[in-house]
Amino acid sequence: MKRFLAGVAGGLLGAAVVFGAAFALGAFDGTIVEQTVVKGETVSYEAEGLTPQQIYDEHAEGVVEIVATLPAQYDMFGQSTGPRQGIGTGFVVSDDGYILTNSHVVSESGQLAVDVQVVFNQDGKGTTQVTGTIVGADDATDVALIKIDPSQAPELRVLPLGDSSKVAIGEQVVAIGNPLGLEFSLSSGIVSATDREIQSPDGSTIVNAIQTDTSINPGSSGGPLIDSAGNVIGINEQIASRSGGNDGIGFAVPINTAVQVMEQMKGGSFAQGGYGDQLGEAQPDPTEVW
């Protein structure tokens, strides 16, 4: 789209130059026309907020890869499929080791992962893997909270949390995650829409979701959607796709919802599915959850 608009702008600029020369030479009525030429001044545009590179440099070490081992399932003949591993993303929200992610990263059909490994990226110095404990996982809001022992991890980089109620359509955002297993990848885009309703893994409706054209793929789930001020405004959760891949329509659970669920989990009063049931009735949704 930008390329097309740039082409149009270039064409208009070229036309202005041609017409300006024609007036100066008196080419329209054969008379000499006096013309005052106003020279334009160079205008410098300075982007507001942080660049994607600055956000990545500042916050990438606070984003983690989550490798969850799910319990074995059994087919109709009673044969075990064996344990299965899935890869997702999470991000550090406190210096005492709490990490937010999606419920579907660490659970499936109400069954929690039997093992969770949290992988930290140390800015070119390799990675460190730490065992995590699931504090809570709510399929109704697709929010999960993991706890790790900070003494076993590198120095924790806590990501600042924003206010998802103030998100505006058109503002610049970035996503950091592990799409298709490509660790600690950065993608950028804009907020395409706000106040969307999306379907959670258990069929409940998540309200106030953020729609973005930032590239999100399998493995990105649970990663942060970050605004240009460097604040997390959502947890990347699912895409709408006819092809099964990224079509430029992604959705994030609003961080305000995630924080409310997290506080209940930390307080020990969280009931599985209890919070999300208050957010609305299940509705059909063409999205795929990653």
Based on the residue annotation, tell me whether 104 is a catalytic residue of this protein: yes
Residue with tokens 């209940």: 264
Angle at 211 (CA atoms; ends 273, 260), nearest 5 degrees: 35
Task: Find the helix or strand (DSSP H, E) in which 53 lies.
Answer: helix 52-59
Q: Which residues contact 17 (CB under 8 A, 6 or more apart)?
A: none
Decide if 228 is catalytic. no
Residue 128 burial (10 A CB sphere; 0-12, 13-18, 19+): middle
- Given 103, 104, 164, 192, which residue is catalytic? 104
The answer to whether the beta carbons of residues 75 and 81 sit under 8 Å apart is yes
Looking at 103, 107, 138, 142, which residue is catalytic? 142
Strands 98-101 and 250-254, how do they pair? unpaired
Instruction: Give CA–CA dist 275/258, Å, rounded.
Output: 11
For 26-39, give one letter per residue: b (16+ CB within 10 A) or e: eeeeeeeeeeeeee
Quick one: the chain helix, strand, coil %, rounded to 5? 20, 35, 45
Name the strand (E) or helix (H) holding 146: strand 143-147
Task: Check 164, 221, 228, 241 and give the catalytic one.
Answer: 221
Catalytic residues: 104, 142, 221
